[in-house]
């Protein structure tokens, strides 16, 4: 197999031939333009040297891999130079087609092995050769097995032809198959062809991602295998196609890699269930309190509140409680560390899990708070709201009142709306910094400041927003059930109070010392063996 440098060279060569036959007609003589590469190569680089453009083509994701419009619109025009590296593919399905297109676009010669080449050849780029399986495997050193596991055994007739080849297993299983099968698909393939080297790769990349290029999908190609050299060669192909190869270790790790595409947002399951559970509880409570109770007691029909008003009372409660649940585990952890007098004792599992899910809980809180803001801005748009205002106006006229301005109510609303907007603004900052591209650009201190300090500030501001919204209604309300906001205040107030207590100098200093490694009592004692020569001098260096 060729080195990275010669691969890159192949890319450059291929692009040269792909378009701009007149060397002038290409509109975009940019970095990716083949005519530009041609002039660079012709003038300065000998055949076995890599031009800067060619080197860039092999790894730089910003460069288009199939650079010319002409080629993109009609891949049949591609011609592959004879010195390009040859890669084989067994299978002619969706994955094989996307892989072949990408490989051809990246300057490889592609030979596809199919059971029925006549039927499938038309679906591949013209530059890819589609022939019978037995013919296809003779030339290439690296062969992608783009078939399902259950069909691997049908390849047994090719055993002799495959001796010494590198087989790339790209397969995935269903969840059921994954649980039932003890060995990974890659290990199974290796057991069928002991004379080959099997490398697991590309299963985490979808056919769509391959076709649209790494810009629009996952860029990492996880690779595992027992032979370093074989892994390196597959890595170079991945890199040449614009992906980032990640070495995951031996073939024994293939099972783990095969499990990755089966996972569906694993870290979100518990936080999502928590949010849904809280939503159902608060919605039911609000329905009973704001709709059912007035209907039973006073025969008032307030069912119109169900789609919007009750939802807008429920969403902020979920957002607010979830926000407090982001900061509660930190408080519990601090309390445990103070109690134990060490940071080296393991937290209970439930607390450990809770601490690990804070990001997802926080983002769901932000999601609910954002919806609450939109719902709140829509409250005055409702027809019910307009009827209520007109009815109030009529009542006022009949009662001969000319002015019902209530200074306290005006101030209360101005303040609580403003505090709500402020809290949402701070939460938006937290949400933005949780994006990997942003968090990677922050140092640990900056990230902690935003997440820990500003996040806690958001909780405090939300508490004032809720308190000013509720004002004296907690006590003035004549209904049996207390207003919802009084229930929501419990956990956040406990968290704020506890954080306040931990800020007391005596506790703050002790906590800071514990988190720097200080311990109340040393639990690990170093006992010297009885036969140790006590007189011998030891070095303390
Ligand atoms: C919208 C939103 C987005 C979020 N995004 C993220 C995210 O991307 N990533 C994320 O992790 N969380 C995220 N969170 C959750 C939350 O903001 C953070 O987990 C936050 O750091 C929790 O702060 P804390 O003060 O409770 O605890 P911590 O920051 O864990 O710790 C409390 C204090 O202890 C100190 N401390 C903690 N551990 C140690 C130690 N081992 N040694 C010394 N000092 C220590 C810290 O400096 C801090 O002062 C998000 C929350 C929201 C609302
Ligand atoms: N599609 C994706 O997005 C994707 C992503 C990651 C991984 N993968 C993996 O890639 C592999 C292929 O997936 P795919 O989507 O391309 O599947 P597919 O469209 O069903 O293609 C499978 C190919 O296997 C070949 N084959 C060989 N022997 C066969 C037999 N006995 N019965 C049926 N087919 C046989 C067929 O090609 P011939 O008829 O030409 O021989 C067929 O086209 C799978 O292991 C899959 O898990 C797919
Ligand atoms: C743009 C931002 C915000 C605006 C405009 C806003 C507005 C409002 C309004 C109008 C109400 C009264 C709802 C009603 O009449 O039923 C309210 C209540 C409430 N808001 Fe906000 N809010 C905002 C952000 C937030 C945030 C970020 C939180 C907390 C995370 C929050 C928590 C609450 C709570 C708990 C209530 C009380 C719900 C109840 O029991 O009725 N709000 N807010």
Report how far ligand 2's centroid is from the alpha carbon of 300 (Å): 63
In this predicted structure, what is the pLDDT of residue 23?
A: 34
**Which residue has a Cα nearest atom 6 of ligand 2?**
203
**Which residue has a Cα nearest atom 9 of ligand 1?**
359
Report how far ligand 1's centroid is from the alpha carbon of 433 (Å): 12
Please indicate whether residue 93, judged by its CB atom, sits closer than 6 Å to ligand 2.
yes
Q: Domains in the chain and their CATH numbers?
A: 1-84 (no CATH), 85-262 (3.40.50.720), 272-515 (no CATH)
3-state helix, strand, coil in the chain (%, to 5): 60, 5, 30
In this predicted structure, what is the pLDDT of residue 58?
A: 38
For 448-514, the three-class secondary structure string (H helix, E strand, C coil) is: HHHHHHHHHHHHHHHHHHHHHHHCCHHHHCCCCCCCHHHHHCHHHHHHHHHHHHHCCHHHHHHHHHH
Pocket test for ligand 2, best of 88, 89, 92, 93 (most atoms within 8 A of CB): 93
Which letter does DSSP use for residue 529 in this model?
P
**Which residue has a Cα nearest atom 21 of ligand 2?**
93
Please indicate whether residue 147, judged by its CB atom, sits closer than 6 Å to ligand 2.
yes
**Which residue has a Cα nearest atom 20 of ligand 2?**
93
Report how far ligand 3's centroid is from the alpha carbon of 283 (Å): 15
Please indicate whether residue 114, judged by its CB atom, sits closer than 6 Å to ligand 2.
yes
In this predicted structure, what is the pLDDT of residue 472?
A: 85
Report how far ligand 3's centroid is from the alpha carbon of 137 (Å): 66
Q: Which atom of ligand 2 is nearest to the CA of 209?
A: 3
User: 51 near 41, Cβ under 8 Å?
Assistant: yes
Mean pLDDT by 10 residues, the chain (541 residues): 37 34 35 36 35 36 36 46 85 97 95 97 96 97 98 97 98 95 97 98 93 75 97 97 95 96 92 98 97 94 97 98 98 96 94 97 98 97 96 94 91 97 98 94 96 98 97 78 94 97 96 92 56 42 23
Euclidean distance between CA atoms 469 and 485, whole angstroms? 9
Euclidean distance between CA atoms 194 and 159, whole angstroms? 9
Q: Which ligand is nearest to the CA of 514?
A: 1
User: 35 near 29, Cβ under 8 Å?
Assistant: yes
User: 493 near 467, Cβ under 8 Å?
Assistant: no
Sign of the torsion formed by the C-alpha atoms of 135, 138, 139 and 145: positive
User: 169 near 185, Cβ under 8 Å?
Assistant: yes
Beta bridge partners of 278: none
Q: Which ligand is nearest to the CA of 512?
A: 1
Euclidean distance between CA atoms 299 and 297, whole angstroms? 6
Please indicate whether residue 13, judged by its CB atom, sits closer than 6 Å to ligand 2.
no
In this predicted structure, what is the pLDDT of residue 286?
A: 97
User: 462 near 320, Cβ under 8 Å?
Assistant: yes
User: 342 near 519, Cβ under 8 Å?
Assistant: yes
Euclidean distance between CA atoms 30 and 352, whole angstroms? 52
Q: Which atom of ligand 1 is nearest to the CA of 327?
A: 26
Report how far ligand 1's centroid is from the alpha carbon of 431 (Å): 13
Please indicate whether residue 211, judged by its CB atom, sits closer than 6 Å to ligand 2.
no
Euclidean distance between CA atoms 445 and 75, whole angstroms? 50
In three-state secondary structure terms, 110 is: strand
Q: β-strands 197-200, 220-225: how paired? A: antiparallel
Report how far ligand 1's centroid is from the alpha carbon of 358 (Å): 8
Q: Which ligand is nearest to the CA of 327?
A: 1
The CA–CA distances, whole Å, from 197 to 58, 202, 337, 384 equal 25, 16, 51, 72
Report how far ligand 1's centroid is from the alpha carbon of 330 (Å): 8
Please indicate whether residue 372, judged by its CB atom, sits closer than 6 Å to ligand 3.
yes
Around ligand 1, the residues with Cβ closer than 6 Å are 323, 326-327, 330, 358-359, 362-363, 365-366, 427, 430-431, 434, 439, 448, 451-452, 455, 515
In three-state secondary structure terms, 83 is: coil
Please indicate whether residue 119, judged by its CB atom, sits closer than 6 Å to ligand 2.
no
Please indicate whether residue 6, judged by its CB atom, sits closer than 6 Å to ligand 3.
no
Read off the tokens for 438: 């942003």
Which position has the token pair 């037995």?
134
Cα atoms in the 13 Å half-sphere on the side-chain side of 452? 11
Cα atoms in the 13 Å half-sphere on the side-chain side of 505? 0
Beta bridge partners of 39: none
Report how far ligand 3's centroid is from the alpha carbon of 446 (Å): 29
For 167-225, the three-class secondary structure string (H helix, E strand, C coil) is: EEECCCCCHHHHHHCCCCHHHHHHHHCCCCEEEECCCCCCHHHHHHCHHHCCCEEEEEE
Pocket test for ligand 2, best of 94, 128, 155, 238 (most atoms within 8 A of CB): 94
Pocket test for ligand 2, best of 148, 184, 205 (most atoms within 8 A of CB): 148
Total-model pTM: 0.76
In this predicted structure, what is the pLDDT of residue 46?
A: 36
Long-range contacts of 468-471 (CB under 8 A, 24+ apart): 468/412, 468/415, 468/416, 468/419, 469/412, 469/416, 469/420, 471/412
Euclidean distance between CA atoms 149 and 92, whole angstroms? 15
Report how far ligand 3's centroid is from the alpha carbon of 423 (Å): 10
Pocket test for ligand 2, best of 90, 91, 99, 243 (most atoms within 8 A of CB): 91
Report how far ligand 3's centroid is from the alpha carbon of 365 (Å): 13
User: 143 near 165, Cβ under 8 Å?
Assistant: yes
Report how far ligand 3's centroid is from the alpha carbon of 463 (Å): 10
Q: Which atom of ligand 1 is nearest to the CA of 366?
A: 1
In this predicted structure, what is the pLDDT of residue 374?
A: 98
């Amino acid at each position: 197999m060729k080195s990275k440098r010669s691969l890159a060279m192949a890319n450059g060569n291929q692009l040269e031939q792909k378009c701009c036959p007149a060397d002038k007609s290409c509109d975009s003589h940019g970095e990716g333009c083949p005519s530009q590469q041609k002039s660079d190569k012709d003038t300065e680089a000998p055949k076995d040297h890599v031009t800067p453009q060619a080197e860039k083509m092999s790894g730089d994701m910003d460069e288009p891999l199939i650079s010319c419009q002409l080629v993109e619109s009609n891949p049949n025009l591609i011609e592959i130079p004879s010195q390009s590296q040859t890669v084989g593919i067994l299978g002619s399905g969706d994955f094989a087609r996307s892989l072949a297109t990408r490989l051809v676009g990246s300057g490889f010669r592609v030979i596809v092995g199919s059971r029925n080449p006549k039927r499938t050849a038309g679906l591949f780029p013209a530059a890819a050769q589609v022939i019978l399986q037995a013919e296809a495997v003779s030339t290439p050193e690296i062969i992608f097995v783009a078939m399902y596991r259950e069909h691997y055994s049908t390849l047994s007739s090719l055993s002799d032809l495959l001796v010494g080849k590198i087989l790339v297993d790209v397969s995935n299983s269903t969840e059921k198959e994954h649980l039932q099968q003890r060995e990974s698909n890659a290990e199974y393939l290796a057991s069928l062809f002991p004379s080959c080297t099997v490398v697991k790769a590309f299963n985490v990349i979808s056919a769509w991602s391959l076709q649209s290029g790494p810009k629009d999908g996952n860029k990492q190609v996880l690779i595992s295998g027992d032979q370093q050299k074989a892994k390196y060669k597959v890595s170079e192909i991945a890199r040449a196609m614009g992906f980032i190869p990640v070495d995951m270790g031996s073939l024994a790790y293939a099972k783990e890699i095969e499990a990755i595409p089966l996972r569906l947002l694993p870290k979100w399951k518990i936080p999502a269930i928590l949010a849904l559970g809280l939503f159902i509880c608060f919605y039911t409570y609000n329905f009973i309190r704001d709709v059912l109770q007035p209907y039973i007691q006073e025969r008032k029909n307030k069912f119109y509140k169900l789609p919007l008003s009750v939802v807008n009372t429920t969403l902020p409660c979920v957002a607010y409680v979830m926000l407090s649940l982001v900061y509660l585990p930190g408080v519990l952890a601090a309390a445990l560390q103070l109690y134990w007098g060490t940071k080296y004792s393991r937290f209970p599992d439930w607390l450990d899990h809770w601490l690990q899910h804070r990001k997802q809980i926080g983002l769901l809180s932000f999601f609910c708070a954002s919806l609450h803001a939109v719902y709140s801005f829509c409250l005055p748009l409702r027809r019910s709201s307009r009827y209520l205002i007109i009815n109030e106006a009529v009542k006022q006229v009949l009662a001969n009142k000319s002015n019902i301005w209530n200074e306290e109510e005006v101030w209360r609303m101005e303040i609580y709306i403003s505090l709500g907007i402020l809290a949402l603004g701070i939460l938006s900052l937290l949400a933005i910094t949780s994006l990997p591209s942003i968090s990677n650009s922050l140092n640990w201190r900056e990230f902690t400041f935003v997440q820990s300090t500003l996040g806690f500030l958001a909780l405090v501001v939300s508490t004032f927003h809720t308190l000013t919204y509720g004002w004296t209604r907690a006590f003035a309300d004549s209904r049996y059930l207390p207003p919802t906001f009084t229930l929501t205040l419990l956990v956040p107030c406990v968290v704020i109070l506890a954080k306040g207590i931990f800020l007391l100098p005596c506790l703050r200093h002790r906590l800071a010392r514990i988190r720097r490694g200080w311990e109340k009592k040393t639990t690990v004692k170093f006992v010297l063996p009885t036969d140790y020569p006590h007189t011998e001098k030891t070095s303390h260096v």
